[in-house]
Structure 1
Amino acid sequence: MKRQQNGFTFIEVLAVLSIIAVATVGTLVLRDWAMANSRVSEARQLITTLQSGAQLWRPNTGIYTGINMTELSSIGAIPVSLADGVEKNPWGGNVTIGVDVADLTRYTISLESIPSASEGARLVKEYTETAFSTSFSGNTFTATFQG
């Protein structure tokens, strides 16, 4: 007489659990990738806003002495919410803009507290063609633009 099987075998349970584990890991990796893309995209938008503000602020002489977040905000070149630059980037770090001390016709934008080297490297790659210089060191991205 054949015995009737009730339930699943151990192998069947292990196979199902393995499939669930692989799917979960794949979903987490995809989520992390999407979050990184989102933060880099937000940072690019922030840098574009600051670049536009710098062009509005620039005096006729083309010299950027005195440019900072507060000045840009006071003339309406950037949103008031960015005025202090504290914890304003997508990673919760500070944002600054200032004159390049080596050449007063250039300005530098810095984003601090970027914990991921890959996200910092992506920002460097994004601005290599358009910025005078770019760097990512420690946890700070810096780009210098010609006015």
Structure 2
Amino acid sequence: MQKQKYVRRGQRGLSLIEASMVLALSAVVVAGAVMYYGTAAESAKVARAQAQLGAIQTAVAGLYGNQSSYVGLDAAALQTSGALPVSYFSGVGAMVNPWNEAVTVAPVIGNRNYAITFTDIPAAACKKIVTSDAGTGVVSVEVGGSTGVSQLTLADANTGCGTTTQTVVYTVR
């Protein structure tokens, strides 16, 4: 005589509650990973913008260090000199920041100083950039009407950067 196997219906797989818990846990893990990636990507862009600012200052110092003025200084001159990485440019004489927006370099104050202008910086990134030390050659940093020497205080950065994209202007000697 053949024995019959009886298997209870609930023991064949996951119950609806167990499956729901697995899906919920998976959703939390994926959401955390996406949030971490977004934060890490934005932090990397801020670091690249800070490196770009330093590289521009170094390139200008190398090219104009023993000249009495910055006449002729612009993005095209920096690109032609080869003093900056190709990745800083999106075309002939068109320098871009990590958010793919314009960066301009031009003489100011009777050609004795020059300005580095980063356009359309997101507010959160703006606050991180303008509160970090921009170097000893920076005369001022300006954003949204707030001006500081070399860097802004957190209070000034919050006021200047606001909640929208901003233009940040560094004046360098």
- The CA deviation at 1:117 is 0.9
| Counterpart amino acid of residue 111 in structure 1 | F
Unaligned runs of 5+ in 2: 1-6, 145-164
Which of 6, 20, 25 is matched with 1:14 structurally?
A: 20
- The CA deviation at 1:132 is 2.3
Is the aligned partner of 1:28 residue 2:41? no
Is the aligned partner of 1:142 residue 2:169? yes
DSSP-derived class of the 2:94 partner: coil
Mapped partners of 2:15, 2:111: distance in 1: 74
Q: How does 1:1-147 map to 2 (within 5 A)?
A: 3-5=8-10, 6-58=12-64, 60=66, 62-79=68-85, 82=89, 84-86=93-95, 88-101=96-109, 104-114=111-121, 116-127=122-133, 130=136, 131-137=138-144, 138-145=165-172, 147=173
Unaligned runs of 5+ in 1: none
- The CA deviation at 1:3 is 4.4
Mapped partners of 1:140, 1:34: distance in 2: 23
DSSP-derived class of the 1:113 partner: strand
> 1:92–1:113: 8 Å Cα contact kept in structure 2?
no
DSSP-derived class of the 2:120 partner: coil
Q: Please give the root-mean-square deviation of Cα atoms over the aligned residues, in Å.
A: 2.8
For the pair shown, the structure with the greater C-alpha radius of gyration is 2
- The CA deviation at 1:75 is 3.9
DSSP-derived class of the 1:143 partner: strand
Q: Classify 1:136/1:32 alpha carbon distance in 2 versus 1 (closer, same or farther; 3 Å).
A: farther
Mapped partners of 2:111, 2:131: distance in 1: 25
Mapped partners of 2:50, 2:135: distance in 1: 14
Mapped partners of 2:127, 2:108: distance in 1: 22
DSSP-derived class of the 1:126 partner: coil
| Counterpart amino acid of residue 9 in structure 1 | S
Q: Classify 1:97/1:119 alpha carbon distance in 2 versus 1 (closer, same or farther; 3 Å).
A: same
Q: Classify 1:23/1:123 alpha carbon distance in 2 versus 1 (closer, same or farther; 3 Å).
A: same
> 1:63–1:104: 8 Å Cα contact kept in structure 2?
yes
| Counterpart amino acid of residue 84 in structure 1 | G
Q: Count residues in correspondence.
A: 143
> 1:121–1:136: 8 Å Cα contact kept in structure 2?
no
> 1:112–1:139: 8 Å Cα contact kept in structure 2?
yes
Identity of aligned pairs, percent?
A: 25
TM-score (normalizing by structure 2): 0.68
Q: Classify 1:3/1:72 alpha carbon distance in 2 versus 1 (closer, same or farther; 3 Å).
A: closer
